[in-house]
């Protein structure tokens, strides 16, 4: 089991100090005007705990990985949802952090979309069962950072903090880990999500140890060096075009199962204000027309995506899916709006090193 520490909250303004370390070398645009107090928890806080996590997922030729199912907790909105309105809006100046290795990304228009190497699945243990969500590598000072949904890291149902045995596997496919297994070391999210399940802040940034090879447990290096990392952006205008990537697997409300969860899929379109989402503390999310189902949670929303470079700027992660016309088909997805507070939490995580655990 993972080692736990009691959740702590950085003093208001403390995140902004950490943000400056990234901003000095990576950020284009003004620094965040608002500082949030991140909630931080250890996942596998020691190398011993990290290696125990690796052994758990790789035992019996990855039996637990193959048995994992899509995570559906707090993912689907029930009943008809009316889009529009809401409180999503910038709270400061626009800013961006460039993708790894790309000081400038020029978007390209191609008929076929090349999927990013940065995306993959996060696996974890919850209430005695293995589950997975979607996620992506994102730029960070130590090239060790993963972006996903908050509900794919923090346990919103049990009286506890983070989910157990958390790992990220980019490019995962049927028990194969082409670029290694990356164990989560520490998780950062907004205090309001960790403590009040406020889905307007349903995002998390997780530092991971160096990856290890599936069978030998040898060190394969840092995540960002192996698969790259998407850029990061905040306070972007609502209405810009994005690609939403993820691994949908669940059925539609009418029972149809168009997705297997084995391979990543994407939606493309312009974001809009989501408005209030009934049944959730969500009043300031953004939405995208999209038919992806459960399993896509945590997948990145990427603006200015270059299909040739396979990178762009993450400005959201899939939070909820739902049906606007009650026809039994999911037709939209939502994401928390990434504002200056999101940036300050991202910055707090992106300035932390993790180290290695492999041989």
pLDDT in tens, 130-165: 999 999 999 999 999 999 999 999 987 765 578 999
Share of the chain above pLDDT 90, in %: 63
pLDDT in tens, 198-213: 899 999 999 999 999 9
- Residue 96 is predicted with a pLDDT of 86
Distance CA 351, CA 359 (A): 25
Q: Three-class SS of residue 283?
A: coil
Residues 330, 293 contacting (CB under 8 angstroms): yes
The tokens of 191 are what? Answer: 């205090």
Q: How confident is the model at residue 1 (pLDDT cuts 50, 70, 90)?
A: very low
Closest CA to 282 of 334, 210, 231: 334
Query: Of 338, 342, 348, 315, nearest to 16 (Cα)?
Result: 348
Q: What is the mean pLDDT of the chain?
A: 84
pTM score:
0.85
Going by C-alpha positions, the residue among 231, 348, 344, 248 that lies closest to residue 299 is 248
CA 359, CA 209: separation in Å to the nearest integer?
A: 13
Residue-wise pLDDT for 16-25, tens only, equals 223 333 333 3
Distance, in Å, from the CA atom of 263 to the CA atom of 115, rounded to the nearest integer, reads 10
- pLDDT at residue 275, rounded to an integer: 73
Answer whether 93's CB lies under 8 Å from 203's CB: no
Farthest-apart Cα atoms in the chain, separation: 54
Cβ pair 359, 216 in contact under 8 A = yes
Secondary structure (3-state) at 266:
strand
Please, what is the Cα angle at 78 between 259 and 163, to 5 degrees?
70
Beta strands in 139-201 (DSSP E): 145-148, 164-170, 182-190
**Mean pLDDT over residues 29-45, rounded?**
68
Specify whether the CB–CB gap between 299 and 271 falls below 8 A: no
Output the pLDDT for position 276: 74
- Residue 3 pLDDT: 35
Helix ranges, 191-320 (H): 191-196, 223-227
> Please, which pLDDT band fits residue 77 given cuts at 50, 70 and 90?
low
């Amino acid at each position: 089991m993972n080692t736990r520490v009691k959740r702590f909250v950085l003093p208001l303004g403390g995140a902004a100090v950490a943000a400056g370390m990234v901003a000095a070398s990576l950020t284009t645009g003004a620094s965040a005007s608002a500082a949030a107090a991140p909630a931080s928890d250890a996942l596998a806080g020691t190398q011993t705990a990290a290696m125990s996590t690796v052994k758990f997922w790789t035992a019996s030729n990855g039996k637990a990985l193959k048995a994992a199912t899509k995570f559906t907790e707090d993912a689907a909105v029930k009943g008809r949802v009316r889009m529009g309105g809401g409180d999503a809006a910038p709270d400061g100046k626009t800013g961006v952090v460039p993708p790894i290795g790309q000081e400038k990304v020029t978007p390209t228009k191609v008929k076929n979309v090349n999927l990013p190497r940065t995306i993959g699945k996060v696996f974890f243990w919850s209430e005695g069962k293995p589950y997975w969500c979607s996620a992506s590598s994102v730029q960070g000072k130590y090239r060790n950072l993963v972006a996903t949904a908050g509900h794919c890291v923090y346990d919103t149902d049990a009286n506890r903090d983070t989910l157990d045995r958390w790992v990220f596997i980019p490019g995962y496919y049927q028990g194969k880990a082409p670029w290694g297994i990356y164990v989560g070391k520490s998780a950062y999210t907004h205090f309001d999500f960790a403590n009040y399940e406020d889905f307007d802040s349903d995002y998390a940034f997780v530092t991971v140890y160096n990856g290890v090879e599936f069978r030998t447990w040898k060190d394969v290096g840092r995540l960002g060096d192996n698969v790259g990392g998407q850029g990061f952006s905040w306070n972007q205008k609502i209405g810009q075009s994005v690609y939403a990537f993820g691994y949908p697997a669940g059925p539609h409300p009418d029972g149809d199962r168009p997705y297997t969860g084995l391979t990543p899929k994407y939606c493309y379109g312009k974001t809009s204000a989501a408005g209030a989402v009934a049944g959730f503390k969500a009043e300031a999310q953004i939405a995208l027309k999209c038919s992806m189902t459960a399993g896509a949670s945590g997948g990145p929303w990427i603006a200015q995506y270059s299909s040739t470079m396979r990178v762009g700027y993450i400005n959201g992660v899939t939070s909820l899916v739902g049906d606007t016309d009650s026809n039994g088909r999911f037709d939209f997805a939502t994401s928390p709006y990434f504002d200056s507070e999101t940036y300050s939490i991202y910055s707090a995580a992106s300035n932390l090193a993790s180290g290695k655990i492999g041989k």
